[in-house]
Structure 1
Amino acid sequence: MNIDTPHTSRHALNWVGGEWVGSDTIRGSINPATYEVIGTYAEGGVETAEAAIVAAKRAMRATDWVHDRKLRARVLDNLADAFERNRGELIKILCTENGKIQREASFEVDLCAPSLRYFAGIVRTDAGRVVDSKPGRIALMMRQPMGVAGVIVPWNSPIILTVRSLAPALAAGCAVIIKVPGKSAQIAATLSKIFANITDLPRGVINVFTDETGDGAKHLVASPEVPVISFTGSTATGKAIALSAAPHFKRIGLELGGKTPSIIFNDTDLDLALPVLQTSVTMFAGQFCVTGQRVIVQEGIADEFRKRFAERLRTVQVGPASDLSSEMGPMIDRENVERVDKAVERAIADGAEVIVRGGPVTEGPLSKGAFFRPTFLEVTDPTMPVVQEETFGPVVTMQRFTTEQQAVALANDSIYGLGASIWTRDLSKALRIAPRIEAGMVWINEWGALGEDTEEGGAKQSGLGRLNGVAALDDFTEIRTITLNPGLMNA
């Protein structure tokens, strides 16, 4: 399978109300590993977003979707089956348009079916509550769908991040409008074909459109007809969404930026830790909300860690998905390569010590693509932008500490609080420290452990709400209390 072969005949349309919808604005899709054009797509926008709102509202009013939980469970199970049947095609387009190496693409795609099946189970088993509030009075508490849900997906992991919001929204009984960025238009079209072939799925329950300018997304956020927004992306955009949604008191779920610290104590087994920490930096070319951007190392092991980690990062094999020996793929485009390189140059000018420079690949066949080799810097000033700001690339900084208190202080010295990892053989120490880390997810002797049955989300400026797990329903439902006096019925 040659994933880098151009497929210029592909033209991606939007999927709205059970129909394929075009646009007067046509843009190109590229393979970031080669910069070859792989197809074109119809740019959605305000008009497409509004059509999707109309279709979604109609689906909630005119079909059994809201009230038939067996239908919802069946659709989620059928979607899971469809993702498994189309696994090869999904991996291929993810490698081609997103740049992931095949191992990473397989990992992303294989997360989807379990998530859909988990929420199919939730639909079947979720129940309200009955309370005898006082003699002669009964109160029923029932989950009800919020209504039309707008799901705004980023380009870095577009398949699983679509499913991660879509599955609980469908389970809740919402109709969903998925807005995908232009950089993932071919992926969105592949997903839409899967949705279109689910025979039990009422038209308009799932709508998908591509929007590179952001105008369509802004329309979803501002519209009073879309009472819930689920967004994954930058903190800056999350703040803008919160402001726009405030006049209508919308329910918003936000998974935003991160600056994940990894605390490495003197008793860490480096033979086990180093491969995982390398993955934490290089997975998805560092374009991951929980990328291990900060290693915080205890003095007794710091020199050994620095030497061995540097050796590993220097030898990371950067390359396209078509080369099975590739350990890290390209970034999403050359503009992001330039952005990350400027951040590294600024850090060096600010006093960061270069351990591994890495940087843009400027020689050989890879120079055509958006490749950036891993970079490793040691810093002593925690206020530097490279420590405080999300880099969103394969760049990691190292800081040293002596005491537990210092380690916790350095880890928490950030506006972000999405993920963190602790490395030690002392379980009591790990459990003593973990609750003190200001992050929504803390991993002990591992990193990036995410699953459909455990809640995922951030603290501080890393977001609001939770996805995955039973708490994921909270963003898409409201509790309706119905109180009755059965005694009057017999009067």
Structure 2
Amino acid sequence: MQRYDMFIDGESRKPAGGEWFPTDNPYVGAPWAEIAKGGEQDVDDAVTAAHRALHTGPWAELTASARGALMRRLGDAIAADARRLAELEVRDNGKLFTEMFGQVSYVPQWFHYYGGLADKIEGTVPPMDKKGYFAYTKKEPVGVVAVITPWNSPLMLLAWKIAPALAAGCTVVIKPSEFTSASTVELVRLFHEAGLPPGVVNVVTGFGKDVGAALVGHPLVRKITFTGSDATGRHINEAAARDFKHVSLELGGKSPNIVFADADLEAAVNGAVSGIFAATGQTCIAGSRLLVQESVHDEIVGKVVDLARTARMGDPMDEHTQVGPITTPAQYAKVLDYVAIAQQEGADLALGGRAAARPECGSGWFVEPTVFTGVRNSMRIAQEEVFGPVLAVIPFKDEDEAVTLANDSRYGLGAGVWTSDIGRALRMADRIRSGTVWVNTYRAVSYLAPFGGFKDSGIGRENGISAINAYVEEKSVWINTGAPTGNPFVLR
């Protein structure tokens, strides 16, 4: 099997503990490579290298414009190697090649965009109310950034974090998911081949209890950015608070996809299926609660079931496959557990509800696309994040009830609204407590549009111009241009 080392201070690095662990191919249900098992010493080496690069050497000496030009080169390097990187992701997490190649091909835009913003991170010259003083503000990099990424879209979600961090002048230590580390190691190696100075971006692979905890608690780390479960995000936030570290957290979701009777029903059905069965439901923005107006409930359910039943499962590298495997054995078991929980709570199984036994699924971890009706919003299947191809359908009477149901969740990451009434679309967008509201579409993202959640779905925003502010500290500078010293015992 292929073996992947860590990448620290511009070079491949074997783990200090001398151990590696297997990483599985979800389609075949067996290991395909070994990943370095990092620990506290490896974290300290990486953070020390990042701290050194922040303050001395080529990176620290680059102008903002030169930093931006380098970032654009990094984007070009990704574009040139997108197919290989996407194939690695498919082998590691089992998602469709068509989706992962699309994502990796889109990733360069983050480096081009934030590379263009690097020399536009500007301070201000505020007008002063005190005679004899001049003041200005400047924005400086927050410091060493710990980046902790999930297994479902490793490189795209990594780009959301490191592109604005690099544009701001920060240095980075990445802890990828232990389930999907290979593509991150290869990406950072590619960066250094493209001219990124040593120590600016480092990768320490391993497990949360060994690497993640050491990284979050390291005294030289000043910012933590994390995408993953709300349970882990809560632990990170609590640990970071002890040292007053900055945090950005993009966490879970239980997103409502809301269909009104006046919608284009065919489009809404496609949106419902895309929202939950694309990416095998393993996405934080999965439209896992389908809220349907009562007058079209049965029609929508019938169409969703009919379309989902035709989904082609199998080899994620096959361009015709539409639903791939679950990424990990633990997640596979969790999804099937939730199917059982839903039935115990009284939900009606309209489709699926079992492990896939199709020949084309081989020995992989596949779950049939599953649809439950008769769901009450208080059920666990409607309140807890399943992270798999399981849809809960809930009827509603009118706009007010739709809003009540949509907001009756501890999450607030995404929401969909399907309607032909522009007034209703605007009202729903205003009333739904969610970081993103899609109208007559679903699961669209861009480097231009801020992304993040309300409530338990996280803290802060990624993407767009505002993301830069998560990686800078603002400093005020006062200059006395002739004001008298005055009484030394009173505030100036």
| TM bucket normalised to smaller | over 0.9
Check the 8 A contact 1:47/1:216 in 2, yes or no: no
Q: Offset at 1:268?
A: 0.8
Query: Identity over aligned residues, as a percent?
Result: 35
Count of matched residue positions in the alignment of Structure 1 and Structure 2: 480
Are residues 1:43 and 2:37 paired? Answer: yes
Is 1:22 the counterpart of 2:14? The answer is yes
Evaluate the alpha carbon distance shift between residue 182 and residue 457 of structure 1 in structure 2; reply closer, same or farther with a 3 A threshold.
same
Q: How far apart are 1:278 and its partner, in Å?
A: 1.0
Provide, for residues 441-461 of structure 1, a one-character-per-residue CA deviation record: whole Å limited to 9, x for no partner: 111111122110110000000
CA distance in 2, matches of 1:365, 1:419: 33
TM-score, normalised relative to structure 1: 0.95
- Give the alignment partner of residue 187 of structure 2, picking from 176, 191, 209: 191
C-alpha distance in 2 between matches for 1:111 and 1:414: 32
The aligned amino acid for 1:129 is T
**2:27 aligned with 1:33:** yes
Q: Deviations over 1:54-80 (max 9, x none)?
A: 101110121253452123202210110
- Taking the aligned partners of 2:376 and 2:419, their CA distance within structure 1 comes to 25
1:380 Cα deviation from its structure 2 partner? 3.9
TM-score normalised by length of structure 2: 0.95
What residue in structure 1 maps to residue 478 of structure 2?
483
User: Which residue, out of 110, 119, 128, partners 1:124?
Assistant: 119
Question: What does residue 56 of structure 1 align with?
Answer: 50
Structure 1 residue 270 displacement after superposition: 1.4
The one-letter code sitting in structure 1 at the alignment partner of 2:141 is P
Give the CA RMSD over aligned residues: 1.5
Aligned to 1:70: 65
Q: 1:241-281: per-residue Cα shift (whole Å, max 9, x none)? A: 01111111110000000011011000010122222221111
Distance in 2 between residues matched to 1:113 and 1:15, nearest whole Å? 21
142, 149, 161: which one aligns with 1:146: 142
Match of 1:4? none
Distance 1:256 1:223 in 2: 22
Q: Which runs of 5+ in 1 are unaligned?
A: 1-7
In the alignment, the residues of structure 1 paired with residue 232 and residue 30 of structure 2 have an alpha-carbon distance, to the nearest angstrom, of 30
TM-superposition CA deviations, 1:189-228 (whole Å, max 9, x none): 22122122122x2210100121124311111111221010
Residues 321-347 of structure 1, C-alpha deviations (whole Å, 9 max, x = no match) = 232210011110232111101111111
What CA distance in whole angstroms lies between the structure 2 residues aligned with 1:488 and 1:74?
A: 43
Q: Could you tell me how far apart the structure 2 residues matched to 1:189 and 1:389 are? A: 32
Q: Is the 8 A contact 2:179 2:328 kept in 1?
A: no
AA in 1 matched with 2:175: K
Q: Post-superposition, which runs of at least 4 consecutive aligned residues in structure 1 deviate over 3 A?
A: none
Correspondence for 1:173: 169
| Alpha-carbon offset, residue 105 of structure 1 | 0.8
Instruction: Answer whether contact 1:66 1:174 (CA < 8 A) is retained.
Output: no
Partner residue in 1 for 2:435:
440
Which of 459, 466, 474 is the equivalent residue of 2:469? 474
Partners of 1:132 and 1:66 lie apart in 2 by 31
Q: Secondary structure at the match of 1:184?
A: coil
Tell whether the 8 Å contact from 1:294 to 1:397 is kept in structure 2 after alignment.
yes
Aligned runs of 1:421-432 on 2, under 5 Å? 421-432=416-427
Equivalent position amino acid for 2:266 in 1 = D
Q: Per-residue deviation at 1:132?
A: 2.0
**Where does residue 353 of structure 1 map in the other structure?**
348
SS at match of 1:322: coil
Of residues 176, 194, 202 in structure 1, which corresponds to 2:197? 202
Partner residue in 1 for 2:3: 11
Instruction: Note the C-alpha offset of 1:99.
Output: 0.9
Q: Alpha-carbon deviation of 1:422?
A: 0.5
Q: What SS is found at the alignment partner of 1:338?
A: helix
After TM superposition, give the deviation of residue 141 of structure 1 in Å. Answer: 1.3
- Per the TM alignment, residue 488 of structure 1 is displaced from its structure 2 partner at its CA by 6.4
Q: Which amino acid in structure 2 is aligned with residue 149 of structure 1?
A: V
Deviates more, 1:74-83 or 1:479-488: 479-488
Q: Distance in 2 between matches of 1:234 and 1:352?
A: 25
Matching residue of 1:214: 209
Counterparts in 2 of 1:322-337, with a 5 A limit?
322-337=317-332
Distance 1:383 1:389 in 2: 10
State how far apart, in whole Å, the 2-side matches of 1:332 and 1:347 are. 22
- Tell me, in whole angstroms, the C-alpha distance in 2 between the residues paired with 1:60 and 1:49: 16
